[in-house]
Structure 1
Amino acid sequence: MSVAQLWDDLAERLHPVFAEYRGHIADLPVEVKADKTLLTEADVTVQQIIIDAIRAREPAAVVIAEEDERQGTRDEVASAGGRVWVIDPIDGTAEFVQEGRVEFCSVVCLLEDWLPVSAFVLAPELGAGSTPLVVTADARERRLTLNGEVVTPPARPGRERWISATRSEGAPPRGFDPEAEKAGFLLKTRTTSQTLDMVRTAVDLSLHTDSPLPPFELFWRRKQKVWDGIAGLCLGTAAGLRHCDENGQPLSAAPAFFSQAEPVFASTVMGKPEIVSWFLDAPH
């Protein structure tokens, strides 16, 4: 089974599971984890379905998954030769557990030589009429698809210019916020799904959703967990975008980073090269 076939298989398996849980979402128990993010039975179920599908194809696969409850060093990662699967079963669980909210998704990314080469994002209800949107990326081929159709990065002529610069609820504005507004950008500051914000930086979804979701010129996040961001970086590479940390340095692609129980990027910046250069020169 090719990676593309795996993505098709996951889309087919996961959509009815999401539909079942969302059908009784008000009765689903929600746990608050130590990092104040949310966990439900659905996260665990979806994660296991994804792992089972990967290991049916690749029995010895090395998997990094958000809900695997790892505490210590992932010793198996260092010996993986750079081939690792990263899973976020539900990115945007806080959206998932609220009726009517749709900005949540399942995320899988394949790394080879410690670099993201293929990614899968399923947003089960984000499409018009609460239909699923499936976005995939092949970084090596510079290929992006939306529901099986090849798409190109957003052209963005003559429209509002948005930046995803989410921050924790109640956090004060940062030095960058007035700079962005002065330059004519609108800021999305409320956190939903980080992956979907990265999708919107690489792919224009505005014609495929009930409420138009404009593409972003730039994505910026501090302390981003790897399962919230690595697939987005794969999409960015496929779209020809630049990604780095807020000091302009390449993001880690070292075995030691991925061997941590919870790998976290100190900061993540992604966008068109000229927009990223502008951001790096601005106070933030």
Structure 2
Amino acid sequence: MNPASDHDTARALATSAGDVLLGVRAGHFPDPTALKDAGDAGSHQFLLDRLAELRPGDAVLSEEGTDDTARLSADRVWIVDPLDGTREFSEPGRVDWAVHVALWERGELTAGAVALPAEGLTLGTVAPPPVPGRVEGPLRLAVSRSRPPALVQDLAAASGAELVPMGSAGVKAMAVLRGLADAYVHGGGQYEWDSAAPVAVARAAGLHTSRLDGSPLTYNQADPYLPDLLICRPELAERLLDALAGLVPARTDGRTHA
């Protein structure tokens, strides 16, 4: 086994997969769909090959791979999203796409990293940057720029919050860590690979992470669908959970990927 720690491995893998994607993005493709497909496939294969080399005994759950149910009895499972934010990746000049690499061990996320390749930045579970102080003014909610969930729009209207549109789930989660938003609230449907690495990094930085009803986020489940998510500054958790209490029941059953 490679002697690097799991934290360092997650960071190195996410960063290097990001380099692969930057190379793909610099190529010539006939249309955005071909670029998206090449990015997904190239990053996925890179991560599978490197994990097979560095952590040969571990299972892998990837958005782009076939789900092997052997992971359900494994002690260690890498949960990866080779390219989070394919729409943004395919649009020239956009930086709001990411690579997610997380490790689940015996019921818990224990390591992870989110690479923001177009910004030359990787945030991981080792020494994440301190969360900046909150700026004065309305709450800022990171939200999908293309399909903001009605739940978040309702929450913003009820709380006087501002919506801050941006691309991938990882970018939105890291926006909270970076002080660019106060919370990331999602109720439109996601999968484990959308949030595992962002949640691992957010927790390491001291942010609150939970389902919208305050219950724990659980990973490496038989069905990887994980419909909703709250990542926020810890001092805002109670306020947001209280506000969400009257909104969540009617909003979190849809199975739309976001």
TM-score normalised by L of structure 2: 0.82
Q: Which has the higher helix share?
A: 2
Q: 1:91-144 deviations in whole A, cap 9, x for unaligned?
A: 000000011111111110011122111112221112xxxxx1111114xxxx31
State yes or no: 1:221 paired with 2:199. no
Is 2:18–2:98's contact at 8 Å kept on the other side of the alignment?
no
**Cα root mean square deviation, aligned:** 2.6
State whether structure 2 residue 108 is matched by structure 1 residue 93: no
Using the aligned pairs only, state the percent identity.
Answer: 24
2:217, 2:203 → 1: CA distance? 13
Q: Distance in 2 between matches of 1:152 and 1:98?
A: 31
TM-score, normalised with respect to structure 1: 0.75
Question: 1:277 maps to which residue?
Answer: 238
Name the residue aligned to 2:122.
Answer: 134
> What is the 5 A alignment of 1:140-219?
143-144=127-128, 151-158=129-136, 161-166=139-144, 169=147, 174-181=153-160, 185-188=161-164, 190=165, 192-204=167-179, 215-219=180-184
1:57 aligns with 2:54: yes
1:36-47 alignment runs, 5 A limit: 39-47=36-44
Which amino acid is 2:124 matched to? T
Letter in structure 2 aligned against 1:202: L
Count of residues in Structure 1 that have an aligned counterpart in Structure 2: 240
Name the counterpart of 2:70.
76
Q: Which has the higher strand share?
A: 1
Deviations 1:57-102 (A, max 9, x none): 11121000000144xxx42122102x11011011000000011111
Gaps of 5+ in 2: 248-258
Which structure 1 residue ranges, 5 or more long, are not aligned? 32-37, 127-131, 145-150, 205-214
Residues 276 and 239 of structure 1, relative CA distance in 2, 3 Å threshold: same
Distance 2:197 2:242 in 1: 26
Are 1:265 and 2:226 an aligned pair?
Answer: yes
**Helix, strand or coil at the partner of 2:124:** strand
2:109 corresponding residue in structure 1: 116
Matched, 1:67 2:64: yes
CA–CA separation in structure 2 for the residues paired with 1:232 and 1:247: 19
Alpha carbons of structure 1 residues 5 and 276: separation in structure 2 relative to 1, 3 Å: closer
